Structure 1
Amino acid sequence: MMALRYYLAYKLSYREIEGIFTERNIHFDHSTLNRWVIKYAPQLEARFRKRKRRVARSWQMDETYIKIKGKWVYYYCAVDKHGAIIDFYLSEHRDEPAARAFFEKAIGSSGLPDKVVIDQSGSNIAVLDTINVRLWLSGYMLSMIEVLTVKYLNNIVEQSHRKVKGKMHQCLGWKSWIGAESTLAGIELCSMMKQGQRHHS
């Protein structure tokens, strides 16, 4: 667990962590650590969610690009107005189905927001408009989401991307989808823990 935390929380490679533990007479191969990340990071993130604190209802959402097997894919993430992580989602495409899947996941885990700040991505706007139409038709007009678009989104959600981008550059892009998903879940888990997003009672 300590080796896992070192990799997910800091800018250390598998081989560097292998070396740190070898100095302490604890021996494992760097490929073993890779398998630990894939196996345990998603499990730990899923357990954390069961005790995750509620987030504010003002969200900021953005997507960035990362490289998997030499191909650029898209990483969606939202944080609340305090910088607390709401949810994240990895997609091969940056389009309306991907945006819909992300918002369904985020709303499913954290409830409906009052406001969402996004860039001027047409797919994100279209999905939020669809959600608002459904709320209107269902009689939940007071629950409709206020949507604010900012052409050049430069806010706290982009700060959240830095660790993800840093790890991507360090490993020169992920070699597998499952490796990327597992590592991203672990990175966000460490960020949530650092921000105190867990109930202790």
Structure 2
Amino acid sequence: MQTPSISYKRHRFPPSIIAHAVWLYVRFNLSLREVEEMLLERGVDVSYETVRRWTAKFGPQIAKNLRRCQRRPGDIWHLDEVVVKISGKTFWLWRAVDQRGVVPDEILQFRRDKRAAKRLLRKLMKRAGSVPKRIITDKLRSYGAAKRELLSDLDHWSHKGLNNRAENSHLPFRKRERVMQGHRSPGGLQRFVSIHSAVRNYFSVPARRRAALTIRYHRMEALCAWKVAASIA
């Protein structure tokens, strides 16, 4: 599938440097100042604020391009939500993970209720273009209520011990959250987690590909996909 090209016009630095700075920030648990220092070691004198603006400007489109090239999600979805504090206010980050460990989508919401669960399911089905064979959740009753209204015949497994895949998917976000030292706004967090998950979907090595040579090839494929998505290939 052909991905929309990204224009880097009216920027002082070449597209390859801009894309590399964005990749460093979203791929690894680095702060903006650490990315600035790593670029300086390579002879690129750029401020951390410039890296932040590059990520905000180019990151969402790169993430969209990556998701366009991604395989369709599996037919078993693990759903879970995690609490997030933004300026003293409580929000919930709802996330889905398929049976391969890929995050199809995630959405930040104010509530932890049936309406929020329905919004998550609708967004997932719209992105996947299909209905899952099964959803697996914890004991939160909002999932069951949302499922009964949207997909009454859908197979639903509700058990705390079955949802470890979704709960483990929160760990990279929590590590990243500590480095970022909080979030400025709900919109900024939503944009960042969308970019972060899209990149992790490509660079995280599946359990079936653990041989050293296979891991190397997997990372090379992911780097190629990143360059195509960033329009620098």
TM-score range, shorter chain: 0.7 to 0.9
> Unaligned stretches of 5+ in structure 2?
1-18, 205-217, 226-233
In structure 2, the residue corresponding to 1:61 is in which secondary structure?
strand
Given the alignment, which residue of 88, 95, 103 partners 2:106?
A: 88
CA distance in structure 2 between the aligned counterparts of 1:177 and 1:109, rounded to whole angstroms: 21
| Partner of residue 160 from structure 2, selected from 146, 151, 163 | 151
Give the Cα–Cα distance (whole angstroms) in 2 for the partners of residues 92 and 40 of structure 1.
27
Runs of 4+, deviation exceeding 6 Å: none
1:154 positional shift: 4.5
| Structure 2 counterpart of 1:64, from 82, 85, 97 | 82
Q: Which residue of 2 aligns with 1:53?
A: 71
State the identity %. 26
RMSD: 2.0
- Structure 1: any 5+ residue segments left out of the alignment? 134-143
Q: CA deviation at 1:168?
A: 1.1
Q: 1:163·1:187 contact (CA, 8 Å) conserved in 2?
A: no
**What's the secondary structure of 2:69's corresponding residue?**
coil
TM-score w.r.t. the length of structure 1 is 0.86
| Structure 1 counterpart of 2:145, from 119, 126, 133 | 126
User: SS where residue 173 of structure 2 aligns?
Assistant: helix
Taking the TM superposition and a 5 Å limit, the aligned residue runs for 1:101-180 are 101-110=119-128, 111-133=130-152, 144-151=153-160, 154-180=163-189
- State the secondary structure of the residue aligned to 1:65: strand
SS in 2 for 1:82: coil
Bigger relative CO (Cα 8 Å, ≥ 6 apart): 1
Structure 2 partner of 1:191: 200
Structure 1 residues 2 and 37: alpha-carbon distance in aligned structure 2, compared to 1, 3 A threshold: same
Shift of 1:65: 1.5
How many residues align? The count is 189
